[in-house]
């Protein structure tokens, strides 16, 4: 299968990642719809084996600035996948109930069970991204007075790291995608939303105001990715200015990761086969016998 090389978008595990040199556009030769279709067909096969084997779970995390393409990418990559084996959660402003728990609680409750692919559209990382850019949000999170506001970000990153390592040890395959859209492309997409009546509902004036904090967001992303990209839970900084390229690349990375597990359908034991033979004989008998 013809796929874009993913290693060049893998965020290193040594803390050397720099947003300033991460590309926002990819090679156009990898943007063919054919490549994405091939990956989706393979992913469909893998998802069926994952569901049947019931030994691993898959967690896909999508983060990015507004208009980076999270919703459309999730929809495009998972097209044709059996919904019985896939679940998508979108995390927005925490509820009062969620604020009565630690910051990892709401995403922990949504983790995929074995045999399923779980998708987080935004995630626990919002707590070290949006909240870090707007630290005043901490005042509404009912935190104990003993929590040091100067070290809270590193402690949260450490908690995320520890949880991901625990999940990986217990059979969850974790893949995290930062959709790296340029500021210029984001502007174009906002304007396109304003000009398209069918997309105006997606536009929020707050998103434009947030553009003023672009540099702070980039610094927060750089720190978060460097602190939490690990072999057991890697981050990929995917160029997002070209949606076709982005989707095909992400689909290829997921396929490669699932292939590395060696997913196989369960093999029937001798006892199982004996029961199958018994059932076959019973089914072949005339009804009512």
Query: Would you state the pLDDT for residue 78?
Result: 92
Query: Would you state the pLDDT for residue 4?
Result: 57
Query: Would you state the pLDDT for residue 285?
Result: 87
pLDDT 10s digit of each residue in the chain, 289 long? 555 567 899 999 999 999 999 999 987 766 677 888 899 999 999 999 999 999 999 999 999 999 999 999 999 999 888 888 899 999 999 999 999 999 999 999 999 999 999 999 999 999 999 999 999 999 999 999 999 988 999 999 999 999 999 999 999 999 999 999 999 999 999 999 999 888 888 888 888 999 999 999 999 999 999 999 999 999 999 999 999 999 999 999 999 999 999 988 888 888 888 888 888 888 898 876 5
Query: Would you state the pLDDT for residue 83?
Result: 86
Query: Would you state the pLDDT for residue 33?
Result: 78
The pTM (predicted TM-score) of the whole model is 0.93
- Helix axes of 33-53 and 243-261: crossing angle, nearest 10 degrees: 30
Domain boundaries, the chain: 7-284
Give residue-wise pLDDT tens across range 62-92: 999 999 999 999 999 998 888 888 999 999 9
Any idea which architecture 7-284 has in CATH? 3-Layer(aba) Sandwich (3.40)
């Amino acid at each position: 299968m013809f796929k874009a090389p993913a290693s060049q978008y893998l965020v290193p595990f040594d803390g050397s990642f720099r947003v300033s040199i991460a590309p926002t556009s990819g090679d156009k030769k990898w943007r063919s719809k054919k490549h994405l279709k091939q990956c989706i067909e393979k992913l469909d096969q893998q998802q069926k084996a994952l569901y049947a084997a019931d030994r691993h779970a898959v967690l896909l995390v999508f983060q990015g600035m507004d208009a980076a393409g999270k919703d459309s990418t999730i929809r495009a990559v998972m097209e044709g996948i059996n919904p019985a084996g896939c679940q998508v959660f979108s995390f927005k402003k925490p509820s009062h109930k969620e604020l009565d728990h630690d910051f990892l609680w709401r995403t922990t409750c949504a983790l995929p069970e074995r045999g399923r692919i779980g998708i987080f559209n935004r995630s626990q990382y919002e707590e070290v991204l949006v909240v870090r850019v707007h630290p005043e949000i901490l005042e509404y999170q009912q935190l104990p007075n003993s929590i040091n506001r100067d070290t809270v970000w590193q402690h949260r990153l450490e908690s995320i790291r520890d949880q991901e390592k625990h999940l990986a040890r217990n059979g969850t395959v974790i893949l995290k995608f930062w959709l790296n859209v340029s500021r210029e492309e984001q502007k174009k997409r906002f304007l396109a939303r304003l000009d398209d009546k069918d997309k105006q509902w997606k536009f929020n004036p707050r998103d434009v105001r947030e553009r003023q904090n672009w540099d702070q967001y980039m610094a927060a992303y750089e720190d978060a990715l460097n602190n939490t990209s690990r072999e057991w839970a890697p981050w990929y900084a995917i160029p997002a200015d070209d949606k076709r390229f982005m989707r095909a690349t992400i689909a290829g990375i997921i396929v490669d990761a699932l292939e590395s597990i060696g997913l196989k359908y369960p093999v029937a034991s001798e006892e199982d086969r004996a029961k199958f033979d018994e059932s076959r004989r019973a089914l072949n008998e005339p009804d009512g016998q």
